[in-house]
A and B are shown apart, each in its own frame.
Chain A
Amino acid sequence: MNDQSPTSQARAPEAPEARPPARPEPSRLVRVLFEGGVGRNMGLVAVLVLLAVVGVVTAPRTFPTVSNLLTVLTSASIIGVLTVGVTFVIIGGGIDLSVGKVMALASVWATTVATQSFGALVMIFCALAVGVGAGLVNGVLIAYGRIVPFIATLAMLISAQGLAELISGRRSQIVTDPVIAAIASTRILGIPLLVYLFAVVIAVGWVVLNRTTFGRRTFAIGGNAEAARLAGVDVRRHTVLLYVVSGLCCGIAAIMIASLTTTGSSTHGTLYELDAIAAVIIGGTLLTGGRGTLVGSILGVLVFTVITNLFVLNNLAIEVQNIAKGAIIVVAVLIQARARRSSTT
C-alpha cells in the first residue's frame, strides 16, 4: 500500500535535529558534580555540615583548626582507601568482607624481617601483590567456582587472619625501613602524604568508575548481570577484576597502616570491612548493585571519622560512639529509601 513506513511520515514534524537541546545544558562543573554523586548525596553533605556545627559549638578551640582537619583526613585515609575498593565490588553486585584482614595480611607479609631486608620497594610490591593475590582468589572462587560472594570473602577473611597470625607469630612486626616509616610522617605543603595518597586513590577510582569501559561494565553487571552477559560482556572475567581492584586497595592501605603505626600486625584492620561497607551503604550505593557513587562512599567515611573525632575531642566514651554510628546508618538508609521512592514514583 504505502512504501514508506506510515509512522515516519506522521511523526515527521519532530525531526531528530530538534531533539538534543530540549532543555538548557547545565554547566559542565555542575554536571560533573551531579554525576559524581555530590548532588545525589546532599543529605550526607548536610549531615557533615551539621556535625561540623556541633563540633564548633562543643569544642570551639580544638575542632575548627587546620591541624584537627588534617587529623580527620589522615585517620579517614586508610578506611577510605579500602572503601574505594569495596564500592567497586558492591556496585558490581558483590560484597567483600575480607578487606580488613587482607590488609592485615599484606601489612604482615610486607614487614617480615626477610622482606624488609630487600628494602622499601620490595615491601611495597609485596603488600600490593598479597592484596591482588587475595582479590584474585576471591574473584575466581566467586566467578568460576560459583561461590556466593558473602561466603567466599568470609572464608578469605578468616584464612587471611590465620595466615597473618602464622607469619607474624602474633607479634607486631616493627617497621625498620626508614622509607616506609617516613611515608606517614612526610608532609607536603603542610599536608600529610597519606592524605595525598587517599586523594589519588579516590581520583583514580572516580575516573575508572565513571569514565572508562571498566566502570560502565561494573554498573551493567551490578544492575543486570544476565543482560550484560547477553550483550557480550564477559561477566565472569569482569567479576574477577572487581575483586582484584578491591585487593589492590587493601595492598595500598596496608602500606599506609604499616607506615602510620610503624608495625605490621595481624590485629590491623579488625572490623574495618564493616566500617567500609557501612560507609558505602550510607553513601547511597545499593547493596544489590548497579547503582551508587564513589563520592557518596567517601562522604560516608568522612561522616564516620568526624563522629569519632567529635567524641574524642569531647572526651566521650567509645561505646556511645558505636551506638551513634549504628543509629546514623539506620537513619541515613531510611532517608535515602524515602528519597528514592519519591523520586521514582
Chain B
Amino acid sequence: MRGIVKTFPGVRALDGVDLDVAAGEVHCLLGQNGAGKSTLIKVLAGAHRPDAGAITWAGAPVAFGSPHAADAAGIATIHQELDLVPGLSVAENVVLGHEPARLGFTRPRDAEKTARRLLARLGHPEIPPRRELGELSAAGQQIVGMARALARDARLIVMDEPSAVLDPEEVRNLFRVIRELTADGVAVVYISHRLEEIREIGDRVTVLKDGRTVARNLPARTTPTADVIRLMTGRALEYVFPPSTGPAGEVVLEVDGLGRAGEFADVAFTVRAGEVVGLAGLVGSGRSEILETIYGARRADTGGVRVRGRALPRGSVPAAVRAGLGLCPEERKTQALLLDEPVMRNVSLASLRRFARGGFLGGEAELADAGVVTAQLDVRPADPRRPARTLSGGNQQKVVLARWLLHGCTVLLLDEPTRGVDVGARSEIYALVRRLAGEGVAVVLVSSEVPEVLGLADRVLVVREGRIVHAGPAAELDEHRVLDLVMEGADMTADGLAGAGS
C-alpha cells in the first residue's frame, strides 16, 4: 500500500500511509488510538475506498470496491467488533457467504465438517458446530471469527486486536496458529497494544501516528521499546493548553469503592471545585463505564457517589442531573444529540423545566438563551434553529457542551470531548474546559489522547483493566510514563523510563 489517503468530513484519518507486507510474515501495526490503524485495515479490506494512493496485491495494482472484492482476492479480516451473526450456528457462521451448497440447497453436514476441522486446528475442538453463536463467550466468538477467516483460504489475514478478549492460554494457541499459517506462506497483519506480544509473534513493525506512517519495517524483536514509544508519541502538532487556574476549592465529587461486575472495581477518588481530573487508559479499560456509572447511566454494583456530601441514588440519571452533574458522552451522535432537531432544542433539553410555566413552553426565552450560550461557544453556523445534523463534529460537540453550560453544572463529566473534532475547535474546547474550572466547576475528563489528559488535567488517574493503577498530579507525569502505565508491559517499564530520561 502506497500513499493511502482517506478523509472523513472534518478529519483526515489517513494522510499518506505506506504498508508493505510480505508472504509468510507477521507484520505488526502500531499506533495510538486514533492514529488510523482501523481505517487503514478497513481500506485494505475494501470497506472504505481510499481517496488517493495505490494498493498492489501479488504484483498487480488493485482497487477493492467492496469487502466482497477483497475477500475474493484472498484478504480476510478479523475485526475488533465481530462481524458474525449471533442467531446462526457456529458452523453457519464459519461458512457464511460461502455456504457449501448443491442446486441451491445448503449442505449443513459439509459446513459442520469444515467448522469442526478448523476449530480443531485452532485448538478448540470442544466448540460444538451446531451451537448458536450468541451463546458462546466473547473469546469463543473470536475463535469462530478466526475459523471463518481460515475457511476462506485467505492469503492475507488482518487481525485487529485479536488478543484483547483472550486469556494467556488462548493467546498462546492463537500464536501457534499464526505460526502455522505463516509457515504455509500466509501473511498476517497483526494489531495489538501489547508490545510484548509484538515482540513474541511479530517479524516487522510499521508505526502510524496521526494518520501518517512514521516508521516502516522495523525489526519487531530488536527495536528498543523506547524507540517504539517515541515514534508513537512524538507529535507533529502541539496543542496549546491553557494554564491551570491554581488552587482548587472544596471537594465536590466523592467516588467511593465504585464497581460493576466485569467492568471495573474499587474505583475511589475525589474531585475539588475548580479541579480537572483526567482518566487515562486504553479503550476498553473501563474509563467510559466509570464515568457513566458516576452519572447513574449504569447502575453501580458496589460503592457510591457523593456530590457536595450528598449521596446519589444508584442508577438514576435524573437524580444525578438534579444534583448538578452533566455528561458529554463518548458517542456524540448516538448518545448526545437529537440530530433532526434544531440546535436550540438540543441545547435546552436538560433545562426544559426552566423555560416552562406549568409545563408550557413559551419559546422566546428558550431561543434567546440557547442563542446566548451557542454564541459564547462560537457554534457555527450561528443559527440555533438549524438541525444539529448539519453541523460539523466540532460544532456538534460544542452544542453538547452548551447544553450543560446552559443548565449549569457542579460537576462536568467529559468523555472524549475532542474525538472527531478539528484542530481549531479543539483549542476552543480546551479553553472552555479551563474557563469552567476557573469558575469553580469540577471536571472529570476521559481521553484516549495522553497529551490531552496531561495538558488539561491537574491530576491524572490511570485506569487499566478496570482498576486505577496510578493517581497523581499531572505535572509529575509525562507521555511515556503514562503510556507505560496504560499498556501493561512489565518489562517495558525500565526501557520506557530510560527513553523518557534521554
Contact = CB atoms under 8 A, between A and B. Distances in A.
A16 B375 contact: yes
B424 A7 contact: yes
Among B297, B336, B427, max chain A CB count under 10 A is at B336
Contacts of B467: none
Nearest to B325: A232
B135 interface: no
Contact of A230 (B329, B356, B361, B382): B329
B287 interface: no
Among A6, A216, A219, max chain B CB count under 10 A is at A216
B413 to A, nearest CB: 10
A234 B382 CA distance: 30
Nearest to B428: A7
A194 to B, nearest CB: 28
B359 A226 contact: no
B371 A229 contact: no
Contacts of A20: 371
27 contacts: A5-B427, A8-B378, A16-B372, A16-B375, A16-B382, A19-B371, A22-B383, A212-B361, A213-B352, A213-B361, A214-B359, A220-B338, A223-B338, A223-B339, A223-B340, A223-B341, A224-B339, A228-B349, A229-B297, A230-B297, A230-B317, A230-B335, A231-B403, A232-B318, A233-B349, A290-B340, A290-B341
Contact of A231 (B350, B356, B360, B361): B350
Q: Shortest 5 CB-CB distances between A and B: which pairs?
A: A232-B321, A16-B375, A223-B338, A213-B352, A231-B349
B361 A211 contact: yes
Interface string B326-362: 0101000011111111000100011011001001110
Among A11, A22, A211, A231, max chain B CB count under 10 A is at A231
Interface magnitude class on chain A = 20 to 34
A228 B340 CA distance: 13
Nearest to A31: B363
Given A19-B375, A213-B356, A7 B338 contact: no
B295 A230 contact: yes
B240 interface: yes
Interface string A228-247: 11111110000000000000
A227 interface: yes
A interface majority secondary structure: helix
Given A227-B349, A228-B349, 11 more contacts: A5-B431, A16-B382, A212-B356, A212-B359, A212-B361, A213-B361, A223-B338, A227-B337, A230-B297, A234-B318, A291-B340
Interface string A1-33: 100011110010010100110100000000000
A217 interface: yes
A291 B341 CA distance: 9
B318 A211 contact: no
A212 B349 CA distance: 12
Interface in B132-163: none
Contacts of A214: 359
Interface in B303-328: 317-318, 320-322, 327
Nearest to B430: A5
Contact of B317 (A216, A223, A232): A232
A227 B334 contact: yes
Contacts of A229: 297, 317
Contact of A220 (B297, B321, B334, B349): B349
Contacts of B378: 7-8, 11
Nearest to B329: A230
Interface residues of B, number: 39
Interface string B359-395: 1110100000001100100100011000000000000
Interface string A261-295: 00000000000000000000000000000110000
B352 A217 contact: yes
Interface of A: 1, 5-8, 11, 14, 16, 19-20, 22, 207, 211-214, 216-217, 219-220, 223-224, 226-234, 290-291
B382 A227 contact: no
Nearest to A5: B431
A8 B375 CA distance: 11
A232 B360 contact: no
Contacts of B350: 231-232
Nearest to A286: B340
A63 B317 CA distance: 56
A5 B339 CA distance: 29
A19 B367 CA distance: 12
B431 A219 contact: no
A227 B361 contact: no
Nearest to B383: A22
Given A230-B317, A230-B327, A291-B340, A216 B383 contact: no
A231 B382 CA distance: 23
Contacts of B360: 207, 211-212
Nearest to A14: B382
Given A20-B371, A230-B329, A5 B428 contact: yes
Interface string B282-312: 0000000000000101000000000000000
A29 to B, nearest CB: 15
A290 B338 contact: yes
Contacts of B361: 211-213, 216
Contacts of A19: 371, 375, 382-383
Contacts of A233: 318, 349
A39 to B, nearest CB: 15
A137 B108 CA distance: 45
Given A5-B428, A213-B356, A226 B334 contact: yes
Nearest to B336: A227
Contacts of A223: 338-341
A23 B382 CA distance: 13
Among B350, B352, B428, max chain A CB count under 10 A is at B352
B353 A213 contact: yes
Contact of A216 (B327, B345, B403): B345
B499 to A, nearest CB: 29
Nearest to A234: B318
A7 B334 CA distance: 29
A214 B361 CA distance: 10
B76 to A, nearest CB: 33
A8 B378 CA distance: 8
Contacts of A1: 240
A205 to B, nearest CB: 14
A285 to B, nearest CB: 13
Contacts of B427: 5-7
Contacts of B320: 232
Nearest to A221: B338
A61 B339 CA distance: 50
Contacts of B345: 216, 219-220
Contacts of B317: 229-230, 232, 234
Contacts of A8: 378
Contacts of B341: 219-220, 223, 290
Interface string B110-133: 000000000000000000000000
Contacts of B375: 16, 19
Contacts of A226: 334-335
Nearest to A210: B361
Nearest to B355: A213
A16 B371 CA distance: 8
Contacts of A219: 338, 341, 345
A33 B349 CA distance: 24
